[in-house]
Amino acid sequence: MSESPPLPDAPVTPPSSAAAEVVPPRSGDVTKPVTATGAGSGTTRASLRPLLLRLHFYAGVVVGPFLLVAAVTGLAYTAAPQIESVLYEHELKVTPRGSAEPLAEQVAAAERAVPDGTLLSVTKGAGPTDSTRVTFGKDGLAEGYTLTAFVDPYDHEVLGTLETFGQWLPARAWLDDLHRNLHLGEFGRNYSELAASWLWVEVLGGLALWAGTPRNRQRLRRLVVPDGGAKGRRRTMSWHGAVGLWASVGLLGLSATGLTWSGHAGASIGEVQDALGGSTPAVSTALPAVGSGKEDAGGTKDVGIDAAVAAAQDAGLRGVLVVTPPSEAGTAYVVKENTRSWPVRQDSVAVAPATGEVTQTLRFDDFPVLAKLTSWGINAHMGLLFGLVNQIVLALLAIGLIAMILWGYRMWWLRRPTRSEGFALGRAPARGAWRRIPGRVLAPALVLAAVIGYYLPLFGLPLLVFLVVDVTVGVVLRRGTGAGA
């Protein structure tokens, strides 16, 4: 998100199993493997199920708080456009009257209001009620932030200045920063990356457990509609699983798109995308050699910002236009569409300052498929792709995630011993499930987990910690009780 995407607005599955009824071990049997009801004990599916249940449970318990924070902050972020429109109406909207002043005059007015700033870009609004944004670099601002002057295009009055982050105004930038890193900087980004790295694991694990429940195979309706007649833990599990099923596609999308701009996994994903030829292209600002009679590439002649915009419009660019002036002698103006709602319009052109001619055109239609998918995914994650509908869907996903996490912890609570003295937590699914998995399945699964863990380190490192702790606890219990680990 230079235009900062928020993370993620990202979200979930449950801390506890959304799964079938697995016979819970009694307090004296915690080290014995569990057998899934109705599942053939000799099948690969039956052998995998207890291990999936244990991983789903422990990952949910440990990662659940991170997912909960991501869901709550993401829910707040979904309202950012409406918050901006109310807080900054004076800067954003104007009353149309006559013809707009030339952009050059609007920029000059903004430069007078910010005399110590360095001009970075000019954003021409799409409609007659939109103000013009003139963005400056300025000493003393936080990293990544700029100062934007808002100008009335009809009389070049400066309506105000605001510190901005990419295209985000202060309120959205604050919510975005909260969602991405809890205002803790680069260190804080680990929280959201951890949530995104485990979200897809919890979702897929929950789906596998829920879909594999024998009673659900017999009654398809139980897969999609909570069991209203159930009581207690079974009722909570029914809601947990049904909501998880409905939300699964959206949550997987949020996990994937959240990872694309994360710190560690994002770098790995970028390398893979580049290797596959799917990186996002950009129009070149280098000027071609010119013929006789024209200004040379290093000349000082400049046709001005209005001519650059006119050339871009002649080339077919419409809507919100962001103009980046030449950064140094011998470079071009860049004019880019910034319509990120559907249909996405992100065409861009380079315009020679000496002649006003378009030297290069880049159409969004010509982007590599992976670059298009990345753009669509990020815009959807930020609630931009389909406007209000997109925001509502994201809000529902966040609410669903919050509910599933709370249901998951409730299921854990309901598994606690009821006759023991003092405080006791709910029992975990029994250990030792890995022993029942055939080697032909276990070996590839370990290799796959290692590869994924390498590229998604905040998945791999916690998984390794889970395994070390689990094995250590098993050894301690075995030595204390003589039971197997």
Query: Can you give the pLDDT at residue 284?
Result: 94
Per-residue pLDDT band for 21 (boundaries 50, 70, 90) equals very low
Query: Can you give the pLDDT at residue 480?
Result: 73
Give the bridge partners for 349, in sequence order: 335, 361
Rounded Cα gap, residues 267 and 208, in angstroms: 30
Return the residue matching tokens 């670059």: 371
Rounded Cα gap, residues 273 and 466, in angstroms: 30
Rounded Cα gap, residues 328 and 317, in angstroms: 24
pLDDT at residue 86 above 90? Answer: yes
**Which letter, b or e, does each residue of 438-477 get, where b requires 16 or more Cβ atoms within 10 Å of its Cβ?**
eeeebeeeeeebeebbebbbbbbebbeebeeebeeebeeb
Per-residue pLDDT band for 3 (boundaries 50, 70, 90) equals very low
Q: Within its chain, how far is the Cα of 116 from the centroid?
A: 36
Query: Can you give the pLDDT at residue 216?
Result: 47
Render pLDDT for 237-262 as a digit per residue (tens, 0 to 9).
889 988 999 999 999 999 999 999 89
Render pLDDT for 28-66 as a digit per residue (tens, 0 to 9).
334 444 443 433 444 667 778 888 888 898 889 999 999
pLDDT at residue 156 above 90? Answer: yes
**Mean pLDDT across 114-119:** 96
Give the bridge partners for 50, in sequence order: none
Cα 104–Cα 105–Cα 106 angle in degrees, nearest 5 = 90
Query: Can you give the pLDDT at residue 14?
Result: 39
Query: Can you give the pLDDT at residue 213?
Result: 67
Which range has the top average pLDDT, 125-134, 287-296, 465-474?
125-134
pLDDT at residue 25 above 50? Answer: no
Contact 124/320 with Cβ under 8 angstroms? Answer: yes
Min mean pLDDT across 42-46, 300-304, 374-378, 481-485 is at 481-485
Average pLDDT, the chain: 85
**Mean pLDDT across 378-399:** 97
Query: Can you give the pLDDT at residue 36?
Result: 39
Per DSSP bridges, beta strands 333-337 and 321-324 are antiparallel
**Mean pLDDT across 108-132:** 97
Render pLDDT for 411-470 as a digit per residue (tens, 0 to 9).
988 877 665 555 455 566 766 667 777 888 889 989 999 999 999 999 999 999 888 887
pLDDT at residue 347 above 60? Answer: yes
Render pLDDT for 261-287 as a digit per residue (tens, 0 to 9).
899 999 999 998 999 999 999 999 999
Render pLDDT for 458-469 as a digit per residue (tens, 0 to 9).
999 999 988 888
